[in-house]
Structure 1
Amino acid sequence: MLRLYDSRMSGNSWKIRILLSQLGLPYERVTLDIAQGETRTPAFRRISRFARVPVLELEDGRCIAESGAILAYLAEGSPLLPTEPWLRAEVLGWMFFEQADLQKPLALPRVYHLHGQAAAEADEIARLHRDGYTALAPLEAWVEDHDWLVGERYTLADLAVSVYVSLADQGGYDMARFGAIRRWTARVAAQPGWVPLLPAG
């Protein structure tokens, strides 16, 4: 069985759980406590060369690090990852954009807020917000005119890009400014097999 090493509040880990659910793949979940240093132990470093989650351990014991690589591996052969080269490149392009331009500016302010560090890190949050709002602008412009990021249907691009965007308000972002993005993330969350970050209740 597949084994997913993740953490409770990680957006990158949440992406993998959503995809595993949407593909109907059974897996074992191993949830690590990052604050307690569980990703920095020698045992975990043997699993993850980067000492971070998520990591997917395959049935044969090989491990895949980095959320984008895991998503692409799992989605291979499914409708979520097109086989036509141009469409596939478009999906990957959005995924690269998310990791390069959106992930850090959206994720770090959220971490500071969740850990009660927002006041102490106010200057850093303001800098990250400037970068984040800059990156959100082209996404808003795209989804104003398109229901989905690639083609005419939900793909891996929508899943990968939407997760941290949907959590941005937890980092102090004013997402009321982005009506098209909010409608798009609602469409993504309405897809069959989508699971919440945390269990209900």
Structure 2
Amino acid sequence: MLRLYDSLLSGNCWKARILLSQLNLEYERITLDLVRGDTQQPGFETISRFARVPVLVLEDGHPIVESGAILMHLAEGTRFLPVDLYERTEVLSWLFFEQADLQKAIAFPRVYNLRGQASQMKDEIAYRQKDGYGALQKLENWLGNRSWLVGNSYTIADTSVFAYVSLAAEGGYRMDRYPEILRWLDNVRSTEGWVPLIEKETTS
């Protein structure tokens, strides 16, 4: 069985869980406590060479690290990754853009807010948000007449960019400025198999 090492509130880990659900794949979930330092424990680097999550361990024991690589591996041969070379390249460009321009710009302010450190880290937040707002405007402009980021259907480009963008308000971003992004976020949430960041426990 597949095994996913993740953390509860990580957007990068959420991407993997969304796609695993949409592919209807069974997996064992091992949730680590980053504050406690679980990823720094001896031996974890044998699973994750960068000592961070997410990590997807395949059935043969081979670990895949980095959220974009996990998405690419899982999506191969499915409707979530185009066959056309141009469109596949476009998907990759969005995965790179998300990590380079959006992920840290949104994640850092969000973490500071969630930890109650917004006032003491206000200069760092302002610095991150300056870049983040610029990237969000690029995304808004692209989505102006589009339902999806690449082609005419939902792909892992949408999965990847969705996660942290949907959490941007938790980092103090004024998302009401971006009606096209908000429309697109709803599109992603409506896809079959989508799961929220924190799933409600069901009782029998």
Aligned partner of 2:161 in structure 1 is 161
Aligned partner of 2:47 in structure 1 is 47
- What is the aligned-residue RMSD (CA, Å)? 0.7
What displacement does 1:123 show?
Answer: 0.2
Give SS of 1:86's match: helix
Q: Which runs of 5+ in 2 are unaligned?
A: none
Distance in structure 2 (CA, Å) of the matches to 1:69 and 1:152:
23
Aligned partner of 1:33 in structure 2 is 33
4+ runs of 1 displaced by more than 4 Å?
none
Aligned partner of 1:101 in structure 2 is 101
Distance in structure 1 (CA, Å) of the matches to 2:20 and 2:121:
35
Alignment pair present for 1:90 and 2:90: yes
- TM-score, length basis structure 2: 0.97
Distance in structure 2 (CA, Å) of the matches to 1:60 and 1:73:
14
Distance in structure 2 (CA, Å) of the matches to 1:43 and 1:118:
34
What displacement does 1:70 show?
Answer: 0.4
What displacement does 1:145 show?
Answer: 1.3
Summarize the alignment of residues 120-135 of structure 1 with structure 2, pairs less than 5 Å apart. 120-135=120-135
What amino acid is the match of 2:82? P
Distance in structure 1 (CA, Å) of the matches to 2:143 and 2:162:
11
Deviations for 1:109-159, whole angstroms, at most 9, x for unmatched residues?
A: 001111111111000000000000011111000111111100011111111
Deviations for 1:91-123, whole angstroms, at most 9, x for unmatched residues?
A: 111111001111000111001111111111000
Percent identity over the alignment is: 60
Aligned partner of 1:140 in structure 2 is 140
How many aligned residue pairs are there?
Answer: 201
- TM-score, length basis structure 1: 0.99
Aligned partner of 1:115 in structure 2 is 115
Distance in structure 2 (CA, Å) of the matches to 1:70 and 1:200:
24
Give SS of 1:153's match: coil
Give SS of 2:31's match: strand
Aligned partner of 1:191 in structure 2 is 191
